[in-house]
Amino acid sequence: MMQIVCPHCDAVNRVPRERLGQGGKCGACHKKLFEGHPLALNDAARFDKHATKSDIPMLVDFWAAWCGPCRTMAPIFEQAAAQLEPNVRLVKVDSDASPELASRFAIRSIPSLLLVHHGREIARTAGAMPLPQLIAWTQQHLASV
């Protein structure tokens, strides 16, 4: 069994590993656990719950609205969510709206991408990249999870 935090109500759900690819619905709010879109997590408490309670890794995009490369990266990150879920939860954190999280992870440039599993950073890269490179980078680092 795997624990998956609902992107809508933050309830922790137990999902059999072999049924993870089938998606599933939250036992509390009955909405889909995976929708193929990045989840905005600017609240530190919500971020921590998803990072520590979920058994799937999170790919986190630290971005800002004023950042040109971040705007370039946004549609690529959206496409990556459709390809990487349900094996990875893609999360967007607005570094201006959540300076606490940006500070905690020592974000010095944006966009910065972090792969986090059970609250621990696994890998990090900075700058925009094309979709195939993003998918390859993520899968390369997932092999160590």
Q: In one letter, which amino acid is 113?
A: L
Looking up tokens 């656990």 gives 33
Q: Which of 38, 28, 36 is nearest to 6 (CA)?
A: 28
Residue 144: the pLDDT is 73
Query: What letters, b where the CB count within 10 A reaches 16 and e where it falls short, cover 57-74?
Result: bbbbbbbbeebeebeebb
Cα separation, 41 vs 55, in Å, equals: 17
Q: Is the pLDDT of residue 145 over 80?
A: no
Q: Describe the crossing of helices 68-84 and 131-142 by its angle, rounded to 10 degrees.
A: 60
Confidence category of residue 102, pLDDT binned at 50, 70, 90: very high
Residue 63 host element (H or E): strand 58-63
Angle at 30 between CA 28 and CA 33, to 5 degrees: 95
Question: Which of 11-20, 44-53, 126-135 comes out lowest in average pLDDT?
Answer: 11-20
68-89, pLDDT tens digit by residue?
A: 999 999 999 999 999 999 999 9
19-55, pLDDT tens digit by residue?
A: 887 878 999 999 999 999 999 999 999 999 999 999 9
Q: Catalytic amino acids?
A: 67, 70
Please give the domain boundaries of the chain with CATH numbers for all domains.
36-142 (3.40.30.10)
Residue 23: the pLDDT is 74
